[in-house]
């Protein structure tokens, strides 16, 4: 068992000073990358009037008479900028997700998010690959569809498999205890992804997973050719989930409907309802240009670059020392 | 730790989980051996833990939805001095409070064969009752029975069994004789050296 450091040592940074210097270099490097691509930096507000609708995310709240929400990502604000005609933009700043604490999680973390006008998710994956390969000096990423991964590594089709089939598959992979805790179908898929697929992909080169089941679309548009899949991707490398991107949903009605669905799921999970950010809907009504966007965990990128096992090793002061 | 108001029980939320934390699972006190926080990009977060049942010693995996609360187990570990066995129970005394506790065979288990009077051991108490005994890593015990062995063979190649004063049987080198004191590693159950 790891012993806690003596109380009088807790003033010290969680990361080595050398790691923090490399952190500064990494931030510099990212800004240079986007300057070269003519993508300009924006810094959206962290304390906004609306929170996130995603049923599995929560906001830290701050009350100043009216309630404000520390943002889980700059997505809503950036889409409003895009709708207002900003063109290609990126944001490099803090994001907050309460209760997310672990080897790869710190409730306050650094997120790089960017949007490309007129691009689809495949074009954006190419740019993510260029940035990640430049920083990590790694091999070119592989690309797999979500369905292909499940068929090859788990032995079932994630969209057509029955619930019974999924339960059996989880038992086959010795995930009985996980099965007991998971209610929703997407939780089961996510756990099979985590425990069965992730350890087998992205070891020697980063791995993009794309075209997720529509039920996991989040804010991605559904594919024109197959409405059962969403144009969403994630990037995995050496057991770390590094980025999550979408060919963005631009239809205001579809967006409003997803807000409603999120609140229905929240009700099922006995979680508080969320006031939907009507400013985002208005922005979409005014016209969000066709675009693709991605969010990338900067602390995790640095972990991979420095070969650190925990996120605390790359943070000046991790959650327990902040 | 939070006090659950309705039940009056102390509980832990999953975000307080860490190895060493003692929680109640299926009415048994358990120790968290490993805690993994799993949060898919979009989806429910889970804590998957390896837990050791402190009564049976069995290790199992269990998964909780993050944010769930679990009852805390009133378990504490402390050093006690072993006093004696009266045939029914093993008696221990706290070295500073002098408070005495008795542990039955179930609680002492395999540790019994390493218990020497006056040695300091670690007791695990649940609701103030001993549930397990951890002997010191190294104990020094007298050899009460062993084959005389071959004189002059000091290679220790084969070794031979020796019975110790507490009843433990360990493999010792051939040169070890009855009446000598030896040092043993209680974790592996192996002979370490002779004690002069």
| HSE of A13, CA atoms in CB hemisphere, 13 A | 12
Q: How far apart are CA A315 and CA A15, in angstroms?
A: 6
Model confidence, pTM: 0.81
In which band, very low, low, confident or very high, does the pLDDT at B12 lie, cut at 50, 70 and 90?
very high
DSSP-based three-state secondary structure for B36:
strand
Residue B4: its pLDDT value, please?
45
Q: CA–CA separation, A92 vs A232, rounded Å?
A: 21
pLDDT at B129: 92
pLDDT digits (tens, 9 = 90+) for A130-186: 999 999 999 999 999 999 999 999 999 999 999 999 999 999 999 989 988 887 899
CB pairs under 8 A between A and B: 62
Q: What are the chain B neighbours of A105 within 8 Å (beta carbons)?
A: 37, 39
Higher pLDDT, B33 or A64: B33
Q: How far is B22 from chain A (nearest CA, A)?
A: 14
- Chain B residues at the A interface, defined by Cβ less than 8 Å, are 15, 19-20, 36-46, 48, 60-67
Burial of A8 (0-12, 13-18, 19+ CB in 10 A): exposed
CB contact under 8 A, A99 and B62: no
Other residues' Cβ atoms within 10 Å of the Cβ of residue A213: 18
Give B38 to chain A, closest Cα distance, Å.
Answer: 8
Closest-CA residue of A relative to B32 is A1
The confidence score (pLDDT) of residue B31 equals 94
- Residue B15 clears pLDDT 50, i.e. is over it: yes
Cα–Cα distance measured from residue A26 to residue A13, given in angstroms and rounded to the nearest whole number: 18
Give the tens place of pLDDT for each residue, A237-262.
999 999 999 999 999 999 999 999 99
Closest CB to B62 among A99, A177, A184:
A177
Shortest distance, CA A4 to any CA of chain B (angstroms): 11
Q: Name the residue among A1, A178, A194 with its Cβ closest to that of B40.
A: A194
- According to DSSP, residue A195 is labeled I
Instruction: Give, for B160, the enclosing helix (H) or strand (E).
Output: strand B160-164
**Mean pLDDT across A210-223:** 95
Contacting residues of B for A180, CB less than 8 Å apart: 63
The nearest CA of chain A is from the CA of B72 a distance in Å of: 19
Closest CA to B114 of B144, B91, B86, B135: B135
Q: Measure the CA angle with vertex B95, ends B94 and B99; round to 5°.
A: 35
pLDDT at B58: 92
- Please judge whether B44 and A190 are an interchain contact, meaning their C-beta atoms are less than 8 angstroms apart: yes
Domain parsing of chain A, residue ranges: 17-141+252-314
Site from A95, A99, A215 to mutate, B interface, most B CB atoms within 10 angstroms? A99
Q: Give how far B78 is from chain A: nearest CA, Å.
A: 17
* pLDDT reading at B150 higher than 90: no
* Cβ–Cβ below 8 Å for B45 and A100: yes
Q: Which CATH superfamily is domain A17-141+252-314 in?
A: Bira Bifunctional Protein; Domain 2 (3.30.930.10)
Handedness of CA B98, B99, B104, B108 (dihedral sign): negative
């Amino acid at each position: 068992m790891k012993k806690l450091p003596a109380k009088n040592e807790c003033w010290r940074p969680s990361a080595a000073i050398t790691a923090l210097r490399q952190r500064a270099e990494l931030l510099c490097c990212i800004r240079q990358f986007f300057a070269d691509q003519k993508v300009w930096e924006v810094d959206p507000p962290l304390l906004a009037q609306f929170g996130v609708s995603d049923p599995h995310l929560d906001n830290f709240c701050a009350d100043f008479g009216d309630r404000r929400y520390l943002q889980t990502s700059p997505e809503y604000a950036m889409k409003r900028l895009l709708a207002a005609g900003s063109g290609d933009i990126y944001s490099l700043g803090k994001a907050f997700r309460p209760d997310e604490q672990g080897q790869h999680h710190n409730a306050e973390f650094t997120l790089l998010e960017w949007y490309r006008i007129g691009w689809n998710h495949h074009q954006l994956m190419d740019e993510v690959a260029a940035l990640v390969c430049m920083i990590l000096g790694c091999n070119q990423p592989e690309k797999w569809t979500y369905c292909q991964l499940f068929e090859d590594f788990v032995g079932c089709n994630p969209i057509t498999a029955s619930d019974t089939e999924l339960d059996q598959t989880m038992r086959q992979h010795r995930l009985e205890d996980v099965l007991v805790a998971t209610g929703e179908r997407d939780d089961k898929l996510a756990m099979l992804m985590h425990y069965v697929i992730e350890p087998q992909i992205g070891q020697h080169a980063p791995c993009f997973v794309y075209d997720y089941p529509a039920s996991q679309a989040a804010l991605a548009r559904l594919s024109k050719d197959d409405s059962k899949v969403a144009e969403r991707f994630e990037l995995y490398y050496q057991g770390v989930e590094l980025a999550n991107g979408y060919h963005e949903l631009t239809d205001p009605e579809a967006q409003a409907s997803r807000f409603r669905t999120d609140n229905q799921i929240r009700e099922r999970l006995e979680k508080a309802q969320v006031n939907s950010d009507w400013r985002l809907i208005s922005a979409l009504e005014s016209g969000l240009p066709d675009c693709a966007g991605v969010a990338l965990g900067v602390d995790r990128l640095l972990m991979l670059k420095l070969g650190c096992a925990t996120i605390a090793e790359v943070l000046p002061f991790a959650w327990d020392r902040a | 730790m939070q006090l659950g108001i309705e039940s009056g029980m102390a509980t832990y939320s999953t975000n307080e989980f860490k190895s060493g934390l003692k929680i109640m699972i299926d009415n048994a006190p358990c120790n968290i051996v490993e805690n993994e926080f799993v949060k898919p990009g979009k989806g429910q977060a889970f804590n998957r833990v390896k837990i050791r049942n402190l009564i049976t010693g069995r290790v199992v995996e269990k998964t909780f939805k993050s944010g769930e609360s679990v009852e805390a187990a009133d378990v504490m570990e402390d050093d006690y001095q072993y006093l004696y066995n009266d045939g029914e129970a093993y008696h221990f005394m706290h070295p500073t409070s002098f408070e005495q506790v008795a542990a039955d065979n179930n609680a002492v288990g395999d540790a019994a064969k390493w218990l020497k009077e006056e040695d300091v051991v670690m007791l695990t108490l649940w609701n103030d009752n001993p549930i397990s005994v951890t002997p010191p890593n190294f104990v020094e015990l007298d050899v009460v029975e062993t084959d005389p062995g071959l004189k002059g063979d000091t290679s220790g190649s084969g070794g031979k069994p020796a019975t110790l004063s507490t009843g433990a049987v360990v493999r010792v080198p051939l040169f070890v004789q009855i009446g000598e004191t030896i040092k043993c590693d209680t974790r592996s159950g192996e002979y370490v050296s002779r004690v002069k």
